Every structure is written in C-alpha cells, then in structure tokens.
Copies of this chain bind each other. A is one copy, B any other.
Amino acid sequence: MAKLLPQVLKGFRVYLPEVMIPRQRMLRTIAEVFERFGFVPLDTPALEYAELLTGKYGDEGEGLLYRFADHGGRQIALRYDLTVPLARVMGGHPELPIPFKRYQIGPVWRAEKPGRGRFREFSQCDVDIVGSTSMVADFECLQVDAAVLRALGLERFRIRVNNRKLLDGILEHHGCTTPDRVVATLRAVDKLEKAGQEPVIALLVQEAGWDAAAAADLLQQLAGSTLDFPFTNPRLEEGRQELSQLFTLAARVGIEPYLGLDLTIARGLDYYTGTVFETFLTDLPGFGSVMSGGRYDGLVGLFRSQPLPAVGISLGVDRLLAGLTELGLLPPVRSTARVLLAVFGPETLGETLLVAAELRAAGIPTEVFPSEGGKLGKQYKYADQKGISVVGLVGPEEQTANTVKLKVLADQRELTVPRAALVSEVLGLLQG
C-alpha cells in the first residue's frame, strides 16, 4: 500500500503526552472539586438527532453544526454543547432525583473558522444544578468556581457577578422592553470589555435602536459598582435582592474577596434569566473569562411538560490550561514514570523485571526499557528525553551482590544500593 500522509483535519488537534499529562491532572482536580460538592458525572452521546439541536444556538451557531444523514437516512449532528443534551436527559428521565446536580466533561464540535485558540473540536466542562430556584444554588456555583481555581493553585482571580433581572430593570427604565431590543442591547453590552465604550455605543445605536445620549447614560450606569440607582421598578428590585443575597452569603462563608459586582457582565447567550458571572485571572489581563455561567430557567422545559429552573457553570478547559501553564502552575510533564529501569542483557532481565514490580508495588511508577539489552547509552538518553530523573540498572555484578545501581540524570550522580534499601533510596532521590 502507498504511504499515507499523517494529516490532521484543520481546526482539530492531537494532544501529545506532554500536554495530555498536565491536562488530565487539571481535569482530575476539577472533577474532585465537583464531587466534593456532591455533583455526579453524566455522559451523553456525541451524535444527536439534528432537530434536537436546531433552533437553540441562533442562526450563526446553527450554521456551525456538523450535520449529516446516517446510514438509515436520519438527519443527525455532532453535539454543539453539553447544555442541550442535559436538558434532554432531564426530559427523558423523570425518575432522576431533583435537584439534579451533574457535571459533564467532553468534546463538542463546531465548524468555526479555525484561528488562534479557536478549534473545531474542543472540550467543555459543565456543572449544573437543575430544579432549584433558590439563590443557594447560584451561590454554590460561585463557591465551586472559587474552589476549582483555588484547588488549581490560583488565588488571584475575580468572579464578576451580575443579574439579568437587574439589567432588565435598568433597560426598562430606559424604555427598552421588547425582547428583540433587549437581546440586541445585552449582546452589545457583553462586548464592552473587549471592544470598549465607543464601539458599543455605536452598536447600541445601530443594532438596538438607542439614541446616542441614552446609550452613553446606560453605559455610565453600568460602569458603577453599587446597587443604588436613582430609579427603581419591580424587575430591578428582584435582581437587586438576588444579588444582595449572593453577596451576603459570600461574606458569611469567606469567598467575598473573590467576588465583584460588575453590571457590564451580560453573557451573550439568550437563555440566561437571572444570575450571570464570568471569571478573570488577575495576572492575565486581557486573557478572557476562564469560567462563566448563570441561571437559565427556561431551557430545560423545552423537553418536559413541567419547566425546571437551572443554574450552572461552563469552564473553558483549554483556556484554563493555557492560563495555568502561562502562570507556571502546571509545569509540563513528559512522563508518568518516575524511574526507568535499563536492561543490561538477557541474563539479568528477570531480575530487572522483579525490581520493577517491587518499585511499582511501592507506588513508584516505573518503566522497563522494552528490550533484552543493547546499548545503555540509548536507554539513558530515552530517560532523559522523557524527563525521567532516575535510571536503575541491574548488571551481572549487581545481580550477584543483590544490589541495584541508580543514576540521577540531573547531576550524573551514581550510587549502588542493596535491594533491601531500594524503595527508600529511590523515594529519597525522587524527593531530593
């Protein structure tokens, strides 16, 4: 057969071990935090009936669906997010205990134009509480957000919180009440951080029917950081109370230092109905939000006779990974093994395998160079390439003396240790 080009589709990527090892450690830590709060894992298919996904993501989103006909002529599509599948599960499984607190980590597919940091296959990591209208649920999302980042070694971050009802109340004061105008207004406001004041005013005028003076007035109100306004209405009052409750609980539990009120946080998606928040790393300004979410009380009802309120967080797996890497909190790791056992030759192979078994039993991940011997230089080089710091060797002398020769690659130090002391010596070298 002719040789094949080892091509990867544009917008897709292979995760090599040096990325996968830290990525997997990060995801395990995240899952542990979710489970510490009692969230349970859920998994849903990659493929869905296309009609399940259409009409949920706006025209632009819908055009990005990987959609095709299967062998039976059914119109199917790769999932676009993890939220619509969750809503479907809630619809199909009335037996699930409510509130239902689940997390899901997995890839989603969108046929975006590939670009810097933008891929056609990327992982989402969602945690949601379905079935509670209480601010206790919203507050738990903020707690989980902070707990995840702290578990990953971050202390300098800010969760910027807002409320859609409060925004609605403010817009109502300005006479902006029709759904289309509200959506267009919130979408424009959501661009404030990235685009700046003037372009957003222009957008508000062009897309959302504001006059320039009122738009400037609005942006000034949103730039404040208190909940005091010179006007009020029931909608605004409701949002204000919800936010107050969140900040009161945060003060009580000690996560207030991580929170900030930010009236410009609107979140682009239409389906948010109350609390909305985004999370920024203080030491990476301009990096964008690493975790965001909010309350969406309408979506789950699409698949059920009874609506179900919901609030959740979506974590940007690859963005967070990039951030942690940039901040030096997730050093690259090329190997899962801490020790390589080189193989001297066939006559000492059996003993070498027994030494490996002993180290593994002591919890030390150990690799045996898969050969019956051969050049030791090549085997040492392999350890070095993989960043394995200790190489062990059982040659004929060591076998007779019941010892193992250990070499620390960093400083080329060599020592010969009795088998009885092997595990403690290796542990010492790995810590040292």
Instruction: Pick the interface stretch among A101-109, A176-184, A228-236.
Output: A101-109
Q: Give 15 CB contacts A-B under 8 Å.
A: A1-B55, A5-B303, A6-B90, A6-B303, A14-B93, A34-B336, A36-B360, A37-B337, A37-B366, A38-B335, A38-B365, A38-B368, A46-B109, A99-B370, A136-B349
Residue of B nearest to A101 (CB): B367
For A91, list chain B residues within 8 Å (CB): 4, 6
Q: Does A134 contact B (CB under 8 A)?
A: yes
How many residues in A have their beta carbons less than 8 Å from beta carbons of B? 101
7 extra interface residue pairs, beta carbon distance < 8 Å, beyond A36-B365, A38-B366: A7-B88, A14-B89, A20-B43, A24-B41, A36-B366, A99-B370, A252-B353
Shortest CB–CB separation between residue A180 and chain B, in angstroms? 16
Interface centre among A97, A370, A386 (most CB of B within 10 A): A370
Q: Does A394 contact B (CB under 8 A)?
A: no
Contact with B along A20-43 (1 / 0, CB 8 A): 110010001000001111111111
Q: Does A243 contact B (CB under 8 A)?
A: no
For A304, list chain B residues within 8 Å (CB): 3, 6
Scan residues 26-69 of chain A and give those whose CB is less than 8 A from a CB of chain B: 28, 34-49, 51-52, 55, 66, 68-69
Q: Does A371 contact B (CB under 8 A)?
A: yes
Instruction: Pick the interface stretch among A70-78, A160-168, A197-205.
Output: A70-78
Residue of B nearest to A84 (CB): B4
Q: Does A253 contact B (CB under 8 A)?
A: yes
Given contacts A4-B302, A36-B365, A47-B121, contact A41 B17 (CB under 8 A): yes
Instruction: Give Cα A346–Cα B332 distance, bound, in whole angstroms.
Output: 46
Q: Does A92 contact B (CB under 8 A)?
A: yes
For A41, list chain B residues within 8 Å (CB): 15, 17, 20-21, 24, 336
Instruction: Give Cα A96–Cα B4 distance, bound, in whole angstroms.
Output: 19
**B252 pairs with A12, CB closer than 8 A:** no
Shortest CB–CB separation between residue A362 and chain B, in angstroms? 10
Q: Does A132 contact B (CB under 8 A)?
A: yes
Residue of B nearest to A13 (CB): B45
Contact with B along A320-341 (1 / 0, CB 8 A): 0000000000000011110010
Shortest CB–CB separation between residue A29 and chain B, in angstroms? 13
Q: Does A347 contact B (CB under 8 A)?
A: no
Shortest CB–CB separation between residue A245 and chain B, in angstroms? 9
**A134 pairs with B40, CB closer than 8 A:** no
For A366, list chain B residues within 8 Å (CB): 36-38
**A38 pairs with B385, CB closer than 8 A:** no
For A15, list chain B residues within 8 Å (CB): 41-44
Instruction: Give Cα A69–Cα B368 distance, bound, in whole angstroms.
Output: 44
